Amino acid sequence: MIRHESQLPVPSSAMVIFAHPDDAEFVTAGTAAVWAEQGCEVTYLAGTSGDKGTSDPDIPTETLIEMREQEQRNAAEILGVKHVEFLRYADATLVADLDLRLAITRMIRKHKPEAVICQDPTSRFVAQEYIQHPDHIAMGEAALAAVFPSARDHLTFPQLIEEGYEPHKAKYIFLAGSNTPDVWVNTTHVFEKKLASLKAHVSQVGEFDPTELLRTWGRDTAAEARRSGFSTSWDMELAEGYKFFQLD
């Protein structure tokens, strides 16, 4: 069990799996930036292309998809993320079925991450003020099933072997947006990168300035890390928290 920030590993490679473009920028962008700075090869995997993420009734769906995907690529570049993949399911339709699990398994076997970050599928409600999007829950559930056992076992989805994707076993799992985090990443020095990456989603942010929102979340999370004893340093002004698992 990891009890202190000094024990937290920096993986050599990581895949951040999330439902929609901009999801990662809210809760894991700081971690992606920190790891990338330390040599980790980070891959983003989005379940959808954000095809319903607009209140403009006149924008064509194809235009919106192209816009949202480019915004995600721009955000990833700011953070130092090396690869961005899209599964291109439709927004608000994700289901943790075998089809989605197969698609995620394919990407895990392709990129072979040492660590996987995904949304916590058990966090149905957040802080008595937010109902978790069903796409977040489905993507998190399917991602965990893809990590274990699907990506590991060669007899699961044998068609992937035929496609050239050999089994892969991830070592670390980080559940983002968890109501029961037990590890935290100090993101203080990469705040400007995180902020810029969120602002890169111009179609979603618009004129809204998310600076204080992200600072407040980061400060509250860092305070939680100190209360837990995970961090004893006031250098951790801002943080992102996760439920952590190290797989055998």
The fold for domain 5-246 equals: Rossmann fold (3.40.50)
Q: What is the pLDDT of residues 61-87, one digit of tens each?
A: 999 999 999 999 999 999 999 999 999
Measured in degrees and rounded to the nearest 5, phi and psi for residue 117 equal: -105, 130
Give the model's pLDDT for residue 212. 98
Q: What is the CA radius of gyration of the chain?
A: 17
Given a cut of 90, is residue 147 above it in pLDDT?
yes
> Considering the entire predicted model, what is its pTM?
0.97
Give the model's pLDDT for residue 56. 92
Cβ within 8 Å of residue 136, ≥6 positions away = 18, 19, 23, 119, 121, 177
| Domain ranges for the chain | 5-246
Rounded to 5 degrees, what angle do the CA atoms 105, 114, 195 make? Answer: 95
Q: Are the C-beta atoms of 114 and 170 separated by less than 8 Å?
A: yes
- In angstroms, rounded to a whole number, what is the distance separating the alpha carbons of residues 32 and 15? 9
Rounded to 5 degrees, what angle do the CA atoms 226, 231, 237 make? Answer: 70
3-state secondary structure of 66: helix
Given a cut of 90, is residue 248 above it in pLDDT?
no
Q: What is the pLDDT of residues 190-231, one digit of tens each?
A: 999 999 999 999 999 999 999 999 999 999 999 999 999 999
Give the model's pLDDT for residue 77. 99
Q: Region 28-55: what's the mean pLDDT? A: 98
- In angstroms, rounded to a whole number, what is the distance separating the alpha carbons of residues 53 and 57? 11
Q: Secondary structure of the chain: what % helix, strand, coil (to 5)?
A: 40, 20, 40
